[in-house]
Structure 1
């Protein structure tokens, strides 16, 4: 039995990089969503005391991160099935 160690190492490296990137992107989305939802000190709502645009930008960025995660997972499933 011959094991192609170079190919195994390559698969391990690509898997590691892809996993770290995907987890980082998802974490960035969670942080952006939490930042847009967190009320500021002394305010009763999330948008009071902050610009409404910053909340919208944070929420849009979070949704973009989640969409990229979904696209990456979908592409991975497609590669496995095809």
Structure 2
């Protein structure tokens, strides 16, 4: 039995990179979502409210990207989805 060590290394690097990427995007989403609860906003003029809406929107996009990555991984693993 022969192992393709370069293929194994490539799969390992891609899987670790994808894992780190998904965890980073999820952590960014959590950080942006918690930003709206921080005291001391941007001041008058509604910019604090706009920043809060923008932070929630970007956090939602981060969580959506994580969900898409998980769904794609499940699609690749489960043969009935093909």
What displacement does 1:2 show?
A: 0.8
Unaligned runs of 5+ in 1: 41-46
RMSD across aligned positions (CA): 1.6
Q: Residue 62 of structure 2 is aligned with which of 62, 65, 68?
A: 65
TM-score by length of 2: 0.84
Runs of 4+ in structure 1 off by over 3 angstroms are 47-50
2:50 paired with 1:53: yes
Unaligned runs of 5+ in 2: none
Residues 54, 2 of structure 1: alpha-carbon distance in 2 compared, 3 angstrom cutoff:
same
What displacement does 1:37 show?
A: 2.3
Number of residue pairs aligned between Structure 1 and Structure 2:
76
Per-residue Cα deviation, 1:15-72 (whole angstroms, up to 9, x for no partner): 01101100000010010001122232xxxxxx79462100000011101100000000
